[in-house]
Chain A
């Protein structure tokens, strides 16, 4: 029964259909079943079966809505309903403005992305040192520090945004403290309902994600690499820039992708702490779907935002992989 002696002869056998496995006890048909290659094929099939729920889930909840959104963005809004008339007028409206009103969408979108980038940069600069300390310096109280990082995530997003309203408000925490030290009338005491307030709030909300994302990568950097660098004559600073930082880049990029995407599209922070003059693109998308009922236009705006963010992320990922070579 040794079947692996001559693989060239076996290959045609493999492609032969299993006609009746219950038949003769001798002969190649029965032997076919204990063939190693066949077992491998069956295993691969089993693996594919296991993947079906995941693929199904992704298809239904991710791919399908996106496709729907994309299709819808090429339609048109009628009086009471969406009309399936194919055109690109939504895109031209967003990118070049409508003839009468001028362009209201693009500046808001660019400002939102700018906000997102600012939040990302701030969260990186605050998050990196914390993640670094957590991974390399904090020994005894690591669990405590780690918990302090994630505790804010236990509170609802809205609650955290509201908290900033209390802190930054006219007679809020910051204002009272400033009053006490005699800076009551400085520009600092009136931050609420400004772009600064949006950025502070979003930075606070996304920094924990940044910390966790960078920490998870730094944690896996073996201490022996840092020892090796020092052993080869490179001091602390050099070791940081040549070993620790490059190895942490994937974590930084993952965190930045997350932060940029969510911060640029946020609509809660501008609503709560931004004031009427500082709407972000998320608010506009929200009102197209919620108030105006112009689904096609909302879809188009959402898609353009998506493309902007994806391009930015692609550029940074590409730059990172270029760095690695």
Chain B
């Protein structure tokens, strides 16, 4: 039983929608012949910062658009704040979106952009002024009110887009790769800014990104998606330390995926024979019998390397990465990478012995090609 099944069975016996911000119930979405989402179920708690993480085409943006109301599912239901909104248009959902390219109205001033939704809702003028002012203060753009969007930098436009969505006081804020267009430094700054805003307003954030580092630093929980399905759902540490599938292990952080034969499996720990790389022990989530073909995931930092003359494993490449050295080794046909402290590493061409030991070694039944 994998994590996805574990999660969905958990959903099915929690019947109260009370403290949930969003529930997706068996949502399927296909475009023409392409299936974007395959029976996806997900519960998002009130006030949570949850990230949908995955490669492009994994269905993360489709999921967001379904919650926002820009797409209708072919099957399944969408609930927002305990209400079935599956067939409601976007303008009748207590949800707001920060779009990928900000989507600010170019013909309106910054103030009017932020006030746009409130003005349409015929909120009294004084209240609009107060609420818009407050959100501009929150996003630190109080002095930009009279400018036009094209007079603002990318980071400033980002802040306006956030203020415009937050001023509507949504139950859920959807963010579609909001930092994708910013350069590295600004992105870092905006990440902590977003965390601050999340803390201050306490709204549920559903965040879409393909950047695993970004997902790690910001989220309470991460939903790793692949090919329209949830691969794993959990806290950042859990996802990194105990990836549910080889895909998650490979997508979130660097990893070595090595095939081997299981020797033994007892109480969630399996021993695996990896041939020239010796025998390793790791966490196993699935039923494994002795003699099964399995796949082991080992993080580069859990690989220790010692020179050993006559070993069949040789160092092929050594690259300096800040305070560590990134080694690439060849063992039979398999490439193994290791992150070792400076000075301890061997030169390319030296035969070495590797030792795969660490709390993050995981064993899977699915064998990698």
Contacts and interface: CB of A to CB of B under 8 A. Distances in A.
B70 to A, nearest CB: 6
25 contacts: A224-B100, A224-B101, A227-B90, A227-B97, A227-B99, A228-B97, A229-B105, A229-B116, A230-B69, A230-B70, A230-B90, A231-B90, A231-B95, A231-B96, A232-B116, A232-B164, A232-B165, A232-B168, A233-B91, A233-B168, A234-B91, A234-B120, A235-B89, A238-B120, A242-B116
A262 interface: no
Nearest to A238: B120
Contact of A233 (B68, B104, B117): B117
A238 B121 CA distance: 11
Nearest to B89: A230
A227 B103 contact: yes
A286 to B, nearest CB: 42
Main secondary structure on A side of the interface with B: helix
B167 to A, nearest CB: 9
Interface string A168-186: 0000000000000000000
Interface of A: 222, 224-225, 227-235, 238, 242-243, 246-247, 324-325
B185 interface: no
Given A231-B68, A247-B107, A224 B99 contact: yes
Interface residues of B, number: 26
Contacts of A227: 70, 90, 97, 99, 103
Contacts of A233: 91-92, 117, 120-121, 168
A222 B89 CA distance: 19
B117 A232 contact: yes
A222 B96 contact: no
Given A227-B70, A227-B90, A234 B101 contact: no
B57 interface: no
B93 to A, nearest CB: 9
Interchain residue pairs A-B with the least CB separation, the first 8: A232-B117, A224-B103, A228-B103, A230-B90, A234-B120, A233-B91, A231-B97, A246-B107
B349 interface: no
Nearest to A234: B120
Contacts, number: 62
Given A228-B105, A230-B90, 14 more contacts: A222-B101, A224-B100, A228-B103, A230-B69, A230-B91, A231-B95, A231-B96, A232-B116, A232-B165, A233-B120, A234-B91, A246-B107, A247-B107, A325-B109
Given A231-B68, A232-B120, A233-B91, A243 B105 contact: yes
A244 to B, nearest CB: 11
B268 interface: no
B174 to A, nearest CB: 9
B359 interface: no
A235 B109 CA distance: 21
Interface in B86-145: 89-92, 95-97, 99-101, 103-107, 109, 116-117, 120-121
A132 to B, nearest CB: 17
A233 B165 CA distance: 11
Nearest to B146: A325
Nearest to B167: A232
Contact of A222 (B68, B103, B164): B103
A305 B97 CA distance: 51
Contacts of A222: 101, 103
Interface of B: 68-70, 89-92, 95-97, 99-101, 103-107, 109, 116-117, 120-121, 164-165, 168
A235 B103 contact: no
Contacts of B92: 233
Nearest to A223: B103
A227 B100 CA distance: 12
B91 A235 contact: yes
A227 B96 CA distance: 11
Contacts of B116: 229, 232, 234, 242
B256 to A, nearest CB: 41
B299 to A, nearest CB: 39
A247 B91 contact: no
A24 to B, nearest CB: 46
A190 B95 CA distance: 59
Nearest to B117: A232
A243 B101 CA distance: 17
A225 B91 contact: no
Contacts of B70: 227, 230
A96 B90 CA distance: 61
Contacts of B165: 231-232
A230 B164 CA distance: 13
Contacts of B106: 225, 247
Contact of A234 (B68, B109, B117): B117
Most B CB within 10 A of own CB, among A228, A231, A324: A231
B202 to A, nearest CB: 20
Contacts of A229: 105, 116
A242 B101 contact: no
Nearest to A247: B107
Contacts of B90: 227, 230-231
A299 B117 CA distance: 54
Nearest to B148: A324
A222 B100 CA distance: 12
A323 to B, nearest CB: 8
Nearest to B70: A227
A231 B116 CA distance: 11
B61 to A, nearest CB: 12
A219 to B, nearest CB: 15
